[in-house]
Amino acid sequence: MKKYTEMTREERQTEYAAVKAAYEAQKAKGLQLNMARGKPGKEQLDLVTEGLCNALTKPEDFMTDGIDARNYGNVDGLPAAKRLFADVLGCKPEQCFIGGSASLQLMYDAIAKAYSNGMLHSEKPWSKLDTVKWLCPAPGYDRHFKVSQNFGMEMITIPMTATGPDMDMVEELIKDPAVKGMWNVPKYSNPEGVVYSDETIERLASMKPAAPDFMLMWDNAYCVHEFACEFKPFADILSLCEKYGNADMVYEFASTSKITFPGAGISVMATSVANQEYLKPLINVQIISYDKVNQLRHVKFLQDKEHTLALMKKHAAILGPKFKAVLDALDREIAPLEIAQYNRPVGGYFVSLNAMPGTAKRTLALCKEAGVTMTGAGATFPYGKDPQDSNIRIAPSLPPVEELEQAIAIFCNCLKLAALEKMGL
């Protein structure tokens, strides 16, 4: 195959006609394929269903550390659930605040409390400030950016590198006391699958932001989510921050959404005991206690880090071939043309692709026409605006491999058409 940039106009026209014909044939099939969100597939859900649902059946199963998990109480969660997450994340049980079925809600609520009440070291509630600025490594997770946007923050894009966010830029920006926090997905970042380097993590843990109530949001969503390699141990950000005198700066989040049931698992916010003592009464205004029955169900099923990692191997056996199908198609159809770059993640839920600048939206519009739903173009940037109109997030987890192969084949043709159109015909 010839690179598009090396083709003559006539060659591009011939190529366009051929790709267009293939695309029209694909479109005619009237498919409904979805690579939009990081949803686990049915096979993954089946993997855990019986074990999880049969973990608690009789009244005597519900007693744990002297607590009846079926009644009100313990807003910070069951001790057994704290021990489980501490084991998985490498922090201490007393640092784990166990939430409900969604870590996103814990993140949102933490920031919402900063707005309505202020955090432990805040001078006043953030709703009383003129401007709150927030650092957003991008490409990043659209739902993080939407939380910031909801509260009217001024989002500042931090370019992502192969080792994490551009730390020179971060260290410069935090000198501004209006900069109140930063999003991070430190392991298998969404969407690029970047693992922050040790140096990046040290620099983040040791920063001295001007804002006394700076929130280092550490969304460790993919802490045990390797699909193409062994489990990679990862630094405990809480003890690192503590080491640098920043114990109250960091809020780490994780959930079992991609370990057991998406949106029906359990979640954790790991943060200093001082932060928890401050936040617990505020959270207690919102809720008496989270679903401890589901906490205990998960503890009985997952047991500990070792058993959790064993389960993740089974998820990897299902996910691995899906990522391979996507990367194989891109290697075969796109790489030789030099019209896009993409990463080769070994964990997480996404493949991030940078199309020829100015073609992401068009590519996805073509996909939609042919029945392939993708994450909206721009979603991986603050305010949903990709300045290059280039980044595309591919989520291969939901469709079965045979559907995924059809979807990615259509996607490759759309990339080609958009590139050829952009180059002029």
Contact residues toward a copy of itself (CB under 8 A) are 37, 39-40, 42, 45-46, 49-50, 53-54, 56-59, 62, 68-73, 100-102, 104-105, 108-109, 112, 115-117, 127, 143, 146-147, 150-151, 257, 261-264, 282, 285-294
Provide the minimum distance between the beta carbon of 328 and a copy of itself in the complex, in angstroms, as a whole number: 26
Q: Which is nearer to a copy of itself, 115 or 234 (CB)?
A: 115
Beta strand pairing status for 33-35 and 267-270? unpaired
Q: Which two tokens stand for residue 116?
A: 């309505």
Q: Which is nearer to a copy of itself, 45 or 401 (CB)?
A: 45
Tell me the C-alpha distance between 333 and 322, whole Å.
Answer: 17
| Contact between 227 and 135 (Cβ < 8 Å) | no
Sign for the pseudo-dihedral over CA of 185, 101, 401, 301: positive
| Contact between 382 and 157 (Cβ < 8 Å) | yes
SS3 250: strand
Provide the minimum distance between the beta carbon of 292 and a copy of itself in the complex, in angstroms, as a whole number: 6
Q: Which is nearer to a copy of itself, 5 or 116 (CB)?
A: 116
Q: Which is nearer to a copy of itself, 146 or 361 (CB)?
A: 146
Tell me the C-alpha distance between 263 and 84, whole Å.
Answer: 19
Q: Helix count (H) and strand count (E) of the chain?
A: 13, 15
Q: State the CB neighbour count (10 A cutoff) for residue 394.
A: 23
Provide the minimum distance between the beta carbon of 227 and a copy of itself in the complex, in angstroms, as a whole number: 18
Q: Which is nearer to a copy of itself, 260 or 354 (CB)?
A: 260
Provide the minimum distance between the beta carbon of 221 and a copy of itself in the complex, in angstroms, as a whole number: 12
Q: Which is nearer to a copy of itself, 92 or 146 (CB)?
A: 146
Provide the minimum distance between the beta carbon of 15 and a copy of itself in the complex, in angstroms, as a whole number: 38
| Contact between 97 and 279 (Cβ < 8 Å) | yes
Provide the minimum distance between the beta carbon of 146 and a copy of itself in the complex, in angstroms, as a whole number: 5
